[in-house]
A = this chain, B = another copy of it.
Amino acid sequence: MNTTTLPVLLSNEELADLHKEIGRPSLMGNTIAKLQAELEQYMALPMDVPGHGEAGGYEHNKHKQNYQYINLAGRLFLITKDERYAEYAGKLLAMYADKYLTFDFHIQRNTNPPGRLFHQILNEHMWLMYASLGYSCISAWLSQAQRSHIVERLFKPMLEMFTEKYGHDFDRIHNHGIWAVAAVGICGIAIGERRYLEISVFGHNGDGETGGFLAQISKLFAPSGYYMEGPYYHRFAIRPLAVFAEVLHRHMPELDIYNYKDQVIKQTTQALLATAYPNGLFPALNDASKTMAITDMGVVVAVSMYFKRYGFDKNLLGMAQIQNQVWMHPCGQALSEACDAEATIDPPFWPSVELNEGPDGTCGAQGFLRMQAKDKDICQLSMNYGQHGMDHGHFDTLGIAFYNRGQEVLREYGFARWVNVEPKFGGRYLDENKSYARQTINHNSVTVDEGCQNQFDIKRADSVHGKPHFFMGEGTELQAMSAFADEHYPGMGMQRTVMMLKSDMLESPLLIDLYRLTSEKPHQYDYSHQYQGQIIRTDFEYKTNTELHPLGDNYGYQHLWSLARGEAGSNALISWLQGNSYYTWLGTSSSADNEVIFTQTGANDPQFNLRYENSFILRTTGKDLLFASALETHGYFNEAVEASVNARGKLHQIKVLAHSETGSVVAIEGEGIRFTVMVSNQPNVTDTTEHRIIINDKTYSWKGFLAVEQETK
């Protein structure tokens, strides 16, 4: 028989506190009001528990909404004391209990086993976690008969399916695995069957090593907390992780889960948050959508949990402002109160951080530099010099992304997929994800011989990684990071050093990029940048094509229309307008022979699956070669008020003075200003290493990783 249980995540005292927030203009008050309005709106629709349907179709959406509202209705019943909500959740659960075992299993479509409600049990795990949480809120309100019906005909069959029928899958270490254990563990508590909690935490073997939550959180993340598939997948795993952590904090206090394994939960949550752009969007590293943000439900839970369990950080307050809600839970209430206590809350400005990769942190890293401009605008520069990211990995080691003035400037494309848009291949990954989105040329990187890193061989790519050279993330005037990738093209050495440099002469930190290639054989090198907006001017002649052809026939090139080409000579200036800001890029290489190619996506796209995006490529040939470039952010344009200021910028030339195994020396010149940038190319450099390069009787010498000299006239 099924006894009454208590709400899994809420005590009576906590509920009383939450009840007081109703109607208040706090973040929590607003959250309650918003969720209550959404629930009321949903309750006004006819109730429906549909049968099988297309992935992303009505049925899928309905089941998804149903579990969300069972969960919400349960919690809002306890917070508002409105019994209509308990009745609604109970009725919907009973409808599922009536029908669940009458539904057959779906046909298996991918490696994820099928459920009775969804094509993938992943979704069924999500269903169970939320429905269980909702159930636990109304369990005491339901009659014994109602409880029995739901537990016997719905929850127990689900638990059996997950732990027995698909038992082999339950212990797999995988981001989906966190959903499985959280769902099973939480449902176990909700129905008073603690053995399910035990296997969820320690795995079927009970050792905490081969399966279960403890094994998952110990093995899925690097020591830095980074998740190798990138933020898009990380934020999906963080939801059950944060929820289940809070559950274990309450139901297995002996685990001391928040301090488990040197606070791995703190570490991985912080690592995720630290990747986000200042506007809350996640950089679309690897397969990812361009719009995934910290407003995602899981990150809302994680930010509230992190604040409550790991203490005050003003960046969390900044994030809560962007989220414009908190987790409707005591954790969220703590954050809401902290926000209330501040007179002003700035946007989040996380410190620069190098997030190592690999089980012991030795498989490279993801670097994130952040610097504020004079006007407080936050610039963010990221570089991938870590692992490949398995099946969702993009072949873009040493690729960078750059953000400032509220927008991504050197851009990621993200995945080629229209998620949940059923007429677009069922919302699944499109062929163009492989043929374009994941290719090297679709990144802010260098493509060698029109190929792809690791020849698009995932296994090979997973076996290598970037090598950190140096990381200087502390400065307010100069920050830099440098890394090698010597195993990504056969016989090629690659080193990229990127930095942000603040100068009184410039409006915004200057992005400087030195990309060095070494090889014994000659190659074609394509240095590419993905930009968005309108070309404003160049300092070289180019010719637009009167008919368009794809730029190549493989490795993503087949999807690029070659729009225009021009000989860039020793220096190429390309300036464009994106949103309200102008950008001027100066690029060159150590070769005298540089060509610029302007491209647009869309070639060989028979179903219009790609988005239209633009790039420019600086193409040259050579053996050992240095690409040097600088990106100046300047001016302001506002079409609506017809204002344009400083459309031209200050800088006009960049020169490679030298590059060798010792170091690279580059000069950047503009109106009344000259920067000399000296970077160490020695793998074992320390901050005391002396460097000396003599060019035309002029000696450039510096100590440590790099030096920048600024002369003003």
Measured in the bound complex, the distance between the Cα atoms of B548 and A612 in whole Å is 15
**When A534-B608, A611-B534, A645-B61 are in contact, do A419 and B639 touch as well, CB less than 8 Å?**
yes
The answer to whether the Cβ of A547 comes within 8 Å of any Cβ in the partner chain is yes
Q: Which residue of B lies closest to A564 (CB)?
A: B608
The answer to whether the Cβ of A346 comes within 8 Å of any Cβ in the partner chain is no
Measured in the bound complex, the distance between the Cα atoms of B535 and A418 in whole Å is 11
Q: Which residues 291-317 in A have Cβ within 8 Å of B in the complex?
A: 291-293, 295-296
Task: Indicate if the CB atoms of A642 and B546 lie closer than 8 Å.
Answer: no
Residues of B within 8 A of A290 (CB): 639
What 1/0 mask marks residues of chain A from 269 to 303 whose CB sits below 8 Å from any chain B CB? 00000000000000000000111110110000000
What 1/0 mask marks residues of chain A from 592 to 632 whose CB sits below 8 Å from any chain B CB? 00000010101111111001100000000000000000000
Residues of B within 8 A of A648 (CB): 422-423
The answer to whether the Cβ of A257 comes within 8 Å of any Cβ in the partner chain is no
**When A639-B290, A640-B293 are in contact, do A421 and B536 touch as well, CB less than 8 Å?**
yes
Measured in the bound complex, the distance between the Cα atoms of B545 and A550 in whole Å is 11
Residues of B within 8 A of A422 (CB): 644, 647-648
Measured in the bound complex, the distance between the Cα atoms of B549 and A546 in whole Å is 7
The answer to whether the Cβ of A575 comes within 8 Å of any Cβ in the partner chain is yes
Task: Indicate if the CB atoms of B608 and A643 lie closer than 8 Å.
Answer: no
Task: Indicate if the CB atoms of A291 and B640 lie closer than 8 Å.
Answer: yes
| Total number of A residues with any Cβ neighbor in B under 8 Å | 54
The answer to whether the Cβ of A406 comes within 8 Å of any Cβ in the partner chain is no
What 1/0 mask marks residues of chain A from 52 to 69 whose CB sits below 8 Å from any chain B CB? 000010000100000000
Say how far A599's CB is from chain B's closest CB, in angstroms: 12
Contact of A642 among B419, B575, B640, B642 (CB under 8 A): B419
The answer to whether the Cβ of A34 comes within 8 Å of any Cβ in the partner chain is no
The answer to whether the Cβ of A26 comes within 8 Å of any Cβ in the partner chain is no
**When A640-B291, A640-B292 are in contact, do A424 and B536 touch as well, CB less than 8 Å?**
yes
Task: Indicate if the CB atoms of B575 and A423 lie closer than 8 Å.
Answer: yes
Say how far A236's CB is from chain B's closest CB, in angstroms: 10
Measured in the bound complex, the distance between the Cα atoms of B293 and A418 in whole Å is 32
Q: Which chain A residues have a beta carbon within 8 Å of chain B's beta carbons?
A: 56, 61, 289-293, 295-296, 418-424, 427, 534-537, 543-544, 546-550, 561, 563-564, 575, 577, 598, 600, 602-608, 611-612, 637, 639-645, 647-648
Residues of B within 8 A of A291 (CB): 639-640
Residues of B within 8 A of A295 (CB): 640
Say how far A511's CB is from chain B's closest CB, in angstroms: 21
Say how far A276's CB is from chain B's closest CB, in angstroms: 13
User: In this complex, which of A421, A537, A641, A648 has the most chain B Cβ atoms within 10 angstroms of its Cβ?
Assistant: A421
Contact of A423 among B547, B604, B647 (CB under 8 A): B647
Query: Can you list 16 A-B contacts (CB < 8 A)?
Result: A61-B644, A289-B640, A290-B639, A291-B639, A295-B640, A419-B639, A423-B536, A423-B537, A423-B575, A534-B608, A543-B606, A544-B605, A546-B603, A547-B548, A548-B549, A563-B602
Residues of B within 8 A of A536 (CB): 418, 421, 423-424
Residues of B within 8 A of A604 (CB): 544, 546
User: In this complex, which of A293, A535, A639, A643 has the most chain B Cβ atoms within 10 angstroms of its Cβ?
Assistant: A639
15 more A-B residue pairs beyond the given contacts A61-B645, A423-B537, with a C-beta to C-beta distance below 8 A: A293-B640, A296-B640, A418-B577, A420-B643, A420-B644, A422-B644, A424-B537, A544-B606, A544-B608, A546-B604, A547-B547, A547-B549, A548-B561, A563-B602, A612-B612
Residues of B within 8 A of A647 (CB): 421-423
Measured in the bound complex, the distance between the Cα atoms of B60 and A642 in whole Å is 12
Residues of B within 8 A of A296 (CB): 640-641
Task: Indicate if the CB atoms of B420 and A61 lie closer than 8 Å.
Answer: no
